[in-house]
Amino acid sequence: MQTRLNYHQGAVVFEPEHDVEVAAVPVDVNETTVVRLVLEKPLTPQGQLTLNRWYAEETAVKSSGKAASFEVKIENLQAVKFAKLIIGVHRGGGVSEPLTVKLNGIPVKVDLGDAQEFTEFFAPIDANVPVSNLSESNSIEVVAQENATITSIQILTHSDGGE
Q: What is the pTM of this model?
A: 0.75
**Contact, 20 vs 1, CB < 8 A?**
yes
Q: Is the pLDDT of residue 1 over 60?
A: yes
Query: CA 158 to CA 60: how far, in whole Å?
Result: 26
Name the band, by pLDDT with cuts 50, 70 and 90, for residue 162.
low
Q: How far is C-alpha 99 from the chain's CA centre?
A: 15
Of 4, 2, 5, nearest to 21 (Cα)? 2
Q: Domains of the chain by range and CATH? A: 2-35 (no CATH), 49-160 (2.60.120.1200)
Of 151, 150, 154, 152, nearest to 63 (Cα)? 150
Q: Could you read off the pLDDT of 98-115 as tens digits, one per residue?
A: 999 999 999 999 998 888
Query: CA 66 to CA 45: how far, in whole Å?
Result: 46
Query: CA 12 to CA 110: how far, in whole Å?
Result: 39
Q: Could you read off the pLDDT of 57-81 as tens digits, one per residue?
A: 999 999 998 999 999 999 999 999 9
Query: CA 20 to CA 130: how far, in whole Å?
Result: 37
